[in-house]
C-alpha cells in the first residue's frame, strides 16, 4: 500500500510538474515573441531613420590608382628620420639620431617636413591625423592592394615621435632644428652636423593650435591601433586627452607665443583645431562631453557654420564639418535632439563645399583652373585640390552607405557618383591629364618632375658635402640623382604651367602633409565599398 500510494503520489506530482513546465514554456515563448517583435520594431525604425548598410568588401579595384597609392606611400620612407627599419629607399640612411638629446628626449623619429631637414610639429601632426582618417575609412581598400601595413608603419613612425614630444601634460615640443640655419644649408640628412635646437609650447608660452592638432592626431591614431595594439592605443588616447585640455585651457596662438614660427607655418587661428580635436576625441571615446563641446557649447564660436573654407594643414573647418556629418549620417547612441540639430547644421555647411566643388553646380566655385583643377593659392597649389577631392569622395561614400540618394544644390540635384566623378577628375589631373601632360607624382608615368626641391634627392649618396658646399648640387642643371618616388610636388600655377627647376620651391617642393592627403584620396578611389558605420 505504502509503495502504491507513493507511486500514485509520484505520478500526480509528475503530472503537476509537466503541466507547470508546459505552462512556463508557453509563457516563455510568448515573452520571446513579444520581445522579438519589440526589437524588430526598434531595428526597423533605426534602419528606416538611418538606412545603414553593412560594410561591403572592396570591389572594382583600379590598378592605376593602386600603383599611384603604392608610390605615394613610399614618400614617407623618403622623409623618415631616425634609425631606419625595413628601409625601402636605397639612398636613405639613419639620421637625426641625437634629436632631443639636449632635453633628455628621444625625438629621433618623426619625418622631415618637405625638401628641408626640419621637423615642424604642426604640419607633422596634421599628416598623422589625415593618415589615420584614411586608414579608418579606407583601410580595407589599402589592404586589398597590399598597402595597409606601409600606411600603419608610417603613421606609427610619426605617433612615436609625437608621444615622446609630450613629456609633461602642459609641455609639447613642436620643432626640431633652426629653420634659418637649416635653410642656409643644402646637405643630406645623413650628413647633418649643425646644432638642432628644440622649441616647445607650455603653460607660459602656449600654442593652442599645435597642441590641439597633436591631440587630434593621437586621438585618431588611437582608433587605428585599438584592435592592433590596445596598450599603445590607450597611451595615444591618454596623451590626446591631456593635450586637448592643455590646448583648451590656455587659448593662445602659437604664432603669438613664438613669433618666429610665422615665417614658415603661421597659423590663421586655433578655433578649427579645437573643433577638429574635439570631434576626434568624441569618436575615440564616445564621451558625450566632447560632442557637447563641438555642438551646443562652442558651435557658434568656432564651428564656421554656413561659411565656405578650404581644407589644409592650417584650416580644418571643412574636414571637421565632414567628420561631424558622419555622426549625423549614421547616428549614435545618446545624442539629444538639440545635438542632432547642431550636427545637421555641420552637415549643411559641409554640403556648401560639396556644391561648390561640383563643376556644373549653380554655386560652383571660381577657384578652378580652365581644365577644372581646384586652385586656391600659388604655393603648394595641389594641396587644396587633393584635400577637396578627398572630402568629396568621402562624403559621396557617406551618402551611399546611408542610402542618401541626392545632394541638393540651389535647385539642382546631384547623386553620390557626381562627387566621386569630381574627385576622379582631380586625381587624374595630378597623374597626367593636364595641359602639361605630366604627372605631378614623382615616379608615376614617363613624364614627371626630375628636379624637385629636395636635399636628399638632389645630392649623390657618395658626395662629401657640408652645410654650404652642397649648394653646388642645388645649382646643378642635371636631374636629381636619387628619385624621390611618391613625392607630390607643389603643383601648377593658375595658368596651368609648371617650371621644373630645383630653385622653384613654390612649385617643385614636396611635403609630407600633401602626400598624406593624396594617400587618403587614392585610398578612397582605388576601390568601391561602403564605409564603416562607426570607428
Enzyme catalytic residues: 116, 453, 500, 509
DSSP E strands: which ranges in 119-246? 119-120, 171-176, 198-202
% helix, strand, coil for the chain, step of 5: 55, 5, 40
User: Is-contact 325 317, C-beta < 8 A?
Assistant: no
- Of 370, 387, 375, 369, the closest CA to residue 130 belongs to 387
Q: Which residue has the cell 615622446?
A: 164
Instruction: Measure the CA–CA gap between 524 and 139, rounded to whole angstroms.
Output: 9
Q: CB count, 10 Å around CB of 4?
A: 8
User: Is-contact 136 155, C-beta < 8 A?
Assistant: no
- Of 341, 342, 321, the closest CA to residue 391 belongs to 321
Q: CB count, 10 Å around CB of 54?
A: 8
User: Is-contact 471 186, C-beta < 8 A?
Assistant: yes
Q: 487: buried, middle or exposed (CB in 10 Å: 19+, 13-18, 0-12)?
A: buried
Residue by residue, DSSP assigns 483-497 as: --TT-B-----TTS-
User: Is-contact 240 222, C-beta < 8 A?
Assistant: yes
Residue 200 carries which DSSP code? Answer: E
Q: 475: buried, middle or exposed (CB in 10 Å: 19+, 13-18, 0-12)?
A: exposed
- With b for 16 or more beta-carbon neighbours within 10 A and e for fewer, the 355-388 pattern comes to bbbbeebeeebebbbeebbbbbeeebbbbbbbbb
CA angle 318, 269, 374 (to 5 degrees): 40
Torsion of CA 366, 370, 376, 380, to 10 degrees: 170
User: Is-contact 240 281, C-beta < 8 A?
Assistant: yes
| C-alpha distance from residue 519 to each of 29, 41, 161, 486, 523 (Å) | 54, 42, 21, 10, 6
- What does the block give as the cell for 85? 627599419
- With b for 16 or more beta-carbon neighbours within 10 A and e for fewer, the 9-47 pattern comes to eeeeeeeeeeeeeeeeeeeeeeeeeeeeeeeeeeeeeee
Instruction: Measure the CA–CA gap between 419 and 394, rounded to whole angstroms.
Output: 9
Instruction: Measure the CA–CA gap between 263 and 462, rounded to whole angstroms.
Output: 33
Amino acid at each position: 500500500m505504502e509503495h502504491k500510494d507513493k507511486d500514485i503520489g509520484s505520478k500526480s506530482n509528475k503530472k503537476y510538474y509537466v503541466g507547470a513546465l508546459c505552462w512556463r514554456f508557453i509563457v516563455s515563448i510568448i515573452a520571446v515573441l513579444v520581445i522579438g517583435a519589440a526589437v524588430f520594431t526598434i531595428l526597423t525604425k533605426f534602419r528606416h531613420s538611418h538606412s545603414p548598410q553593412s560594410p561591403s568588401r572592396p570591389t572594382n579595384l583600379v590598378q592605376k590608382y593602386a600603383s599611384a597609392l603604392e608610390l605615394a606611400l613610399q614618400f614617407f620612407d623618403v622623409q623618415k628620420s631616425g634609425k631606419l627599419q625595413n628601409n625601402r629607399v636605397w639612398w636613405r640612411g639613419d639620421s637625426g639620431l641625437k634629436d632631443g638629446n639636449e632635453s633628455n628626449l628621444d625625438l629621433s623619429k618623426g619625418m622631415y617636413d618637405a625638401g628641408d631637414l626640419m621637423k615642424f610639429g604642426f604640419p607633422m601632426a596634421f599628416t598623422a591625423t589625415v593618415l589615420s582618417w584614411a586608414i579608418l575609412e579606407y583601410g580595407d581598400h589599402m589592404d586589398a592592394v597590399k598597402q595597409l601595413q606601409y600606411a600603419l608603419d608610417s603613421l606609427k613612425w610619426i605617433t612615436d615621435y609625437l608621444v615622446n614630444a609630450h613629456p609633461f601634460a602642459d609641455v609639447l615640443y613642436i620643432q626640431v632644428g633652426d629653420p634659418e640655419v637649416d635653410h642656409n644649408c643644402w646637405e643630406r640628412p645623413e650628413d647633418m652636423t649643425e646644432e638642432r635646437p628644440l622649441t616647445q609650447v607650455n603653460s607660459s608660452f602656449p600654442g593652442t593650435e599645435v597642441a590641439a592638432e597633436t591631440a587630434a592626431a593621437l586621438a585618431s591614431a588611437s582608433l587605428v591601433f585599438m584592435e592592433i595594439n590596445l596598450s599603445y592605443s590607450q597611451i595615444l588616447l591618454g596623451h590626446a586627452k591631456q593635450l586637448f585640455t592643455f590646448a583648451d585651457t590656455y587659448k593662445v596662438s602659437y604664432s603669438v607665443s613664438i613669433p618666429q614660427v610665422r615665417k614658415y607655418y603661421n597659423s590663421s587661428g586655433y578655433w578649427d583645431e579645437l573643433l577638429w580635436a574635439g570631434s576626434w576625441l568624441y569618436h575615440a571615446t564616445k564621451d558625450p562631453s566632447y560632442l557637447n563641446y563641438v555642438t551646443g557649447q562652442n558651435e557658434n564660436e568656432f564651428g564656421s557654420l554656413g561659411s565656405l573654407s578650404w581644407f589644409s594643414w592650417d584650416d580644418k573647418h571643412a574636414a571637421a564639418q565632414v567628420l561631424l556629418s558622419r555622426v549625423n549620417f549614421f547616428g549614435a547612441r545618446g545624442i539629444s535632439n538639440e545635438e542632432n540639430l547642431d550636427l545637421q547644421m555641420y552637415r549643411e555647411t559641409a554640403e556648401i563645399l560639396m556644391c561648390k566643388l561640383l563643376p556644373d553646380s549653380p554655386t560652383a566655385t571660381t577657384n578652378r583652373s580652365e581644365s577644372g583643377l581646384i586652385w586656391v593659392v600659388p604655393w603648394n597649389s595641389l594641396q587644396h585640390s587633393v584635400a577637396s577631392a578627398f572630402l568629396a569622395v568621402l562624403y559621396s561614400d557617406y551618402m551611399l552607405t546611408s542610402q542618401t540618394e541626392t545632394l541638393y544644390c540651389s535647385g539642382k540635384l546631384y547623386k553620390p557618383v557626381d562627387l566621386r566623378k569630381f574627385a576622379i577628375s582631380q586625381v587624374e589631373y595630378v597623374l597626367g591629364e593636364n595641359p602639361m601632360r605630366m604627372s605631378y607624382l614623382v615616379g608615376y608615368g614617363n613624364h614627371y618632375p626630375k628636379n624637385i626641391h629636395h636635399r636628399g634627392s638632389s645630392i649623390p649618396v657618395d658626395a662629401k658635402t657640408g652645410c654650404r658646399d652642397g649648394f653646388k648640387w642645388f645649382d646643378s642643371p642635371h636631374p636629381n640623382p636619387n628619385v624621390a618616388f611618391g613625392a607630390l610636388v607643389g603643383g601648377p600655377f593658375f595658368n596651368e604651367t609648371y617650371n621644373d627647376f630645383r630653385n622653384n620651391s613654390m612649385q617643385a617642393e614636396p611635403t609630407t602633409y600633401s602626400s598624406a592627403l593624396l594617400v587618403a584620396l587614392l585610398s578612397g578611389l582605388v576601390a568601391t565599398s561602403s564605409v564603416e558605420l562607426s570607428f
